[in-house]
A and B are shown apart, each in its own frame.
Chain A
Amino acid sequence: MLELILLAYFSAIASGLLVGSISLPLILSRSTLFALTMTHSVLGGAILGVYLNVVFNLGVPAPIIAFITALLLSILVAELSEKIFSEDVAIALVVAIATTITVIFSYLVVQVSSTGLAQAWLYVAGSSAVSTMEDLQKILSALVVVAPLMHLITRELKYIAFDMDGAIAMGLNVRVYRYLFFGLSALATAILASSIGILATHILLAVPGALAIKLTRRMPYLVSYLSAIGLSLGGYAIAQLLNIPPSGGIGILSAITIIGMVVKRE
């Protein structure tokens, strides 16, 4: 039992590190709306993955299908906002497409499998049980790829968000950085969704970065990592205490943190 609890807390720390590496660049590059696309796309892709595995017995892990779906839909957002619509409209349209995929394949999976909906629900609320060794391995693998690359491109993402025309005029390849950012965000989100659920991922993507920006100018990454780990660990503890899924605990703690920030400011 103690081993399982320790595993859950190690997973929480690893999730916190993964979230901490991605949350700050998301906030700094003013891409929180984009995170909305990402989480909806991952959910749609994960449920599509569950359906394809149930019907065609593909044997492809749902997080991989979720990653590919999120990547494709992110590229669609970029292309639509570059060529036709403003960014918020492009995001709204792609969220609509992702939600349509979620609704249709949730319905279809129930028609063909009695356990399908339960599997799909795991991607929404996260596992109700403590984490497995496989979860921890997946999160650590994603962390090894995502965190160093995110650190490497944070400065460029900031430049692009500050003044895109200026960045291009100085020779930055905006498209390369944007797509690399999409790829890394999609990978991290897909892996997190398969362990803590898309709802908790959605909450966690925004809060640590926002806290870091508010609390410090000198070491925002450190604050982002610490607050993400704190929210994950605290969320797991609350979940254990209240006997709810970890995503519920993370949500409660994040809401308390946000309200606390507002009260302190007032």
Chain B
Amino acid sequence: MADVELKGVYYSFDGKPALEDVSFELDSPFFCAVMGPNGAGKTTLLKLMLGLLKPRRGSIRIFGYDVVRDSGAVRRLVGYVPQIINVDHHIPMTVEEVIAMGALARDLPPRFATREVRRKIKEVLELVELDDPSALFSELSGGQKQRVLIARALIGDPKLLLLDEPYSMLDFDMKCEISELLYRLHKERGVDILLVAHELSPCIHLEPIVILLNKRVYAIGRAGEVLTLENLRKAYPGLTEVPAGFILGEDHG
């Protein structure tokens, strides 16, 4: 059995299909990027893998656990990094509070940051190369916010990190820095990475496994094998040639 296994997954919103017959398998260790246009169902795929949504048909198993039936076990093994625009920047939370959320939310109340939790916060802050736990999250730059959210996921010692559009709202250098950080976590700490993005340029040199998705999986494999004109035409209807910078995401502004 593969470590991540999706079989015939179907999901719809108000009867409109968001994902149709999605099947793929990934074996640890993997550094995987799911690519597709806007509305391709990338975020829906992540939510299904986290058990936030239940597949209408099909099944998802992560490290042998069914994400619907064994959601508790799956959530202990999986860390989630949301899209940066989906967190509320107006909530006055310090970096320490945000990261503590990753450790405390898994415990039963009352939830207090113990000495052990504070030690782990320091440890993950070093991992993501940040140093001020008392800084307000809302006052950080986009790249620093992304690092804090990654640290929040890492504090639970996940085997798999699921990241929703980790490059959004960042300049190109910052995107590359985030890619390097993720790759380092993958290589040095053995964390499997599955990120969804509509541009792959920041991580393409790291040779990820690429899944080309637009409601269904059109191709899976190494970037060189997957990102062919033939495959891209299937996932991006109307595409006649691969424009320069296509993988950079320039077609999506």
Q: A interface vs B, CB < 8 Å?
A: 28, 30, 152-153, 155-156, 158-159, 161-163, 165-172, 213, 217, 220
Chain A residues closer than 8 Å to B156, beta-carbon distance:
170
- State the CA gap A213–B104 with chains docked (Å): 23
Q: B92 near A: Cβ within 8 Å? A: yes
Q: B interface vs A, CB < 8 Å?
A: 47, 50-52, 72, 75, 78, 80, 82, 86-88, 90-94, 97-98, 101-102, 104-106, 109-111, 136, 152, 156
Asked whether A152 and B109 contact (CB < 8 A) given A162-B93, A166-B82, A217-B136, the answer is yes
Interface centre among A152, A162, A168 (most CB of B within 10 A): A162
A167 CB contact (under 8 Å) in B93, B94, B105, B109 = B105
Residue of B with least CB distance to A167: B105
- B106→A170 contact, CB < 8 A: yes
6 contacts between A and B (CB under 8 A): A30-B88, A152-B110, A163-B101, A166-B152, A169-B50, A169-B51
- State the CA gap A86–B40 with chains docked (Å): 23
Shortest Cβ gap from B196 to chain A (Å): 14
- State the CA gap A163–B91 with chains docked (Å): 10
Chain B residues closer than 8 Å to A220, beta-carbon distance:
92
Given contacts A158-B91, A163-B88, A166-B152, 10 further A-B contacts (CB under 8 A): A152-B110, A155-B111, A159-B105, A162-B101, A163-B87, A165-B80, A167-B105, A170-B101, A170-B106, A171-B72
Inter-chain contact count A-B, CB under 8 Å?
A: 68
Interface centre among A28, A153, A166 (most CB of B within 10 A): A166
- B88→A170 contact, CB < 8 A: no
Residue of A with least CB distance to B92: A213
- State the CA gap A129–B97 with chains docked (Å): 45
Chain B residues closer than 8 Å to A158, beta-carbon distance:
91, 93, 97
Residue of A with least CB distance to B108: A171
Shortest Cβ gap from A212 to chain B (Å): 10
Shortest Cβ gap from B99 to chain A (Å): 12
Chain B residues closer than 8 Å to A170, beta-carbon distance:
75, 80, 101-102, 105-106, 156
Residue of A with least CB distance to B98: A162
Residue of A with least CB distance to B91: A162
Chain B residues closer than 8 Å to A167, beta-carbon distance:
101, 105
- State the CA gap A170–B52 with chains docked (Å): 11
- B87→A156 contact, CB < 8 A: no
- State the CA gap A84–B76 with chains docked (Å): 31
Chain B residues closer than 8 Å to A171, beta-carbon distance:
72, 75, 105-106
Asked whether A162 and B52 contact (CB < 8 A) given A170-B102, A171-B106, the answer is no
Shortest Cβ gap from B48 to chain A (Å): 12
- State the CA gap A153–B241 with chains docked (Å): 55
- A165→B136 contact, CB < 8 A: no
- A168→B52 contact, CB < 8 A: yes
Shortest Cβ gap from B167 to chain A (Å): 18
- State the CA gap A172–B102 with chains docked (Å): 11
- State the CA gap A28–B97 with chains docked (Å): 13
10 closest A-B pairs by CB: A170-B105, A169-B80, A163-B87, A162-B91, A169-B50, A172-B105, A159-B101, A166-B82, A171-B75, A171-B106
Chain B residues closer than 8 Å to A28, beta-carbon distance:
91-92
- State the CA gap A153–B91 with chains docked (Å): 16
Chain A residues closer than 8 Å to B106, beta-carbon distance:
170-171
- State the CA gap A162–B98 with chains docked (Å): 9
Asked whether A163 and B75 contact (CB < 8 A) given A156-B109, A156-B111, A213-B92, the answer is no
- State the CA gap A170–B109 with chains docked (Å): 14
